[in-house]
């Protein structure tokens, strides 16, 4: 489906509106999340020393620190005009603002994705705003978590997949593969997204040569991303794929039902508690189909 020329403008406006509203609501605590401290230290070491791979083990992915570099520089410049706060505090504040900006970009992408799926522009805007203000996207946009980057990249993978289905152009397969590679560099477990996307792209082509060619466009970048994570973890986490996260006392569990029951029924962790719009999903199917 061809995107109306006004849709990208609307997507940018939705993203900017979200950033404008959320910027004053950023987290104000001094400590920030524990996992983000090494990410901050990696960025600072890269900028201050020029060492691209400082000897600091990060749990949120090396890419998270790289994306933070321009925001770190903005924080460093802003600190000169905010003498009431320590330079370190202002720089860390801009790590939170990075996630605010990325979440705004995610909302803009949701508008584009909704239009690509055939929804009216108004539906895409409502969908984006519901995501930004009534799901876990809201608290994550205020602090320094890598889930924000992962959410944006996962949506980007899906958006390019839609373009593949509709336009049948190889460049969108490659862009989807690059997005997948970046996604696994932030959160390795998201490699599972390659399964449905790969099956969909593989089924589009009728001839075997086309299937192999497009599979390489998708899986080539993905393999490079996975290899980077494995090598990085080998040097900084003694070969562990977990990226520094220790296993629980009971170790890895193959049975998924305990976790699924918690996500659905737990009074403290239920997805309906953190994403109440899911309760409206059955009622939204018909309006969203127009």
pLDDT digits (tens, 9 = 90+) for 100-152: 999 999 999 999 999 998 888 898 999 899 999 988 899 889 888 889 999 99
Mean pLDDT of 208-215: 79
Residue 190: exposure state from Cβ atoms within 10 A (0-12, 13-18, ≥19): middle
The DSSP H or E segment spanning 262 is helix 257-265
Position 170 scores a pLDDT of 84
Rounded to two decimals, what is the model's pTM? 0.84
Flag whether pLDDT at 252 surpasses 80. no
Domain boundary, last residue among 108, 127, 145: 145
Domain that holds residue 154: 147-247
- Say yes or no: 14 and 107 in one domain: yes
Nearest to 60 by CA among 180, 156, 144, 177: 144
- Say yes or no: 38 and 154 in one domain: no
- Say yes or no: 133 and 38 in one domain: yes
Mean pLDDT check: name the lowest of 7-21, 64-78, 156-170, 236-250: 236-250
Domain count along the chain: 3
- Say yes or no: 119 and 84 in one domain: yes
Domain boundary, last residue among 101, 121, 145: 145
- Residue 181 to residue 187: CA distance in whole angstroms: 10
Contact 209, 202 (CB under 8 A): no
> Which of the four pLDDT bands, split at 50, 70 and 90, describes residue 185?
very high
- Say yes or no: 215 and 109 in one domain: no
- Say yes or no: 25 and 133 in one domain: yes
- Say yes or no: 184 and 262 in one domain: no
Most confidently modeled range among 15-19, 30-34, 268-272: 15-19
- Say yes or no: 123 and 153 in one domain: no
More confident site: 70 or 213:
70
Mean pLDDT of 141-168: 91
Mean pLDDT of 218-237: 87
Flag whether pLDDT at 31 surpasses 50. no
Quote the tokens at residue 200.
């969909």
Mean pLDDT of 2-12: 77
- Say yes or no: 135 and 165 in one domain: no
Contact 151, 137 (CB under 8 A): yes
- Say yes or no: 127 and 154 in one domain: no
- Say yes or no: 27 and 115 in one domain: yes
Contact 46, 52 (CB under 8 A): yes
Most confidently modeled range among 103-107, 171-175, 260-264: 103-107
- Say yes or no: 208 and 227 in one domain: yes
- Residue 128 to residue 15: CA distance in whole angstroms: 9
């Amino acid at each position: 489906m061809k995107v109306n020329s006004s849709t990208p403008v609307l997507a940018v406006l939705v993203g900017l509106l979200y950033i404008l509203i959320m910027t004053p609501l950023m987290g104000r605590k001094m400590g920030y999340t524990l996992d983000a401290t090494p990410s901050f230290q990696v960025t600072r070491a890269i900028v201050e020393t020029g060492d691209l791979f400082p000897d600091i083990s990060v749990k949120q992915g090396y890419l998270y620190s790289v994306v933070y570099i321009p925001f770190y520089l903005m924080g460093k410049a802003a600190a000169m005009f905010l003498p009431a706060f320590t330079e370190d505090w202002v720089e860390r504040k801009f790590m939170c603002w990075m996630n605010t900006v990325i979440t705004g970009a995610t909302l803009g992408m949701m508008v584009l994705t909704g239009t690509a799926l055939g929804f009216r522009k108004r539906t895409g805007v409502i969908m984006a705003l519901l995501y930004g203000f009534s799901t876990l996207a809201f608290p994550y946009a205020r602090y320094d978590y890598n889930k924000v980057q992962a959410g944006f990249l996962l949506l980007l993978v899906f958006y390019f997949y839609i373009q593949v289905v509709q336009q049948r152009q190889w460049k969108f397969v490659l862009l989807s593969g690059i997005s997948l590679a970046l996604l696994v560099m932030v959160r390795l477990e998201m490699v599972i997204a390659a399964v449905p996307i790969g099956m969909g792209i593989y089924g589009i082509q009728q001839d075997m040569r086309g299937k192999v060619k497009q599979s390489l466009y998708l899986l080539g970048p993905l393999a490079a991303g996975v290899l980077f994570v494995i090598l990085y973890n080998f040097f900084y986490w003694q070969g562990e794929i977990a990226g520094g996260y220790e296993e629980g006392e009971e170790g890895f569990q193959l049975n998924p039902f305990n976790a699924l029951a918690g996500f659905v029924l737990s009074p403290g962790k239920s997805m309906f508690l953190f994403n109440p719009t899911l309760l409206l999903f059955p009622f939204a199917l018909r309006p969203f189909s127009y």
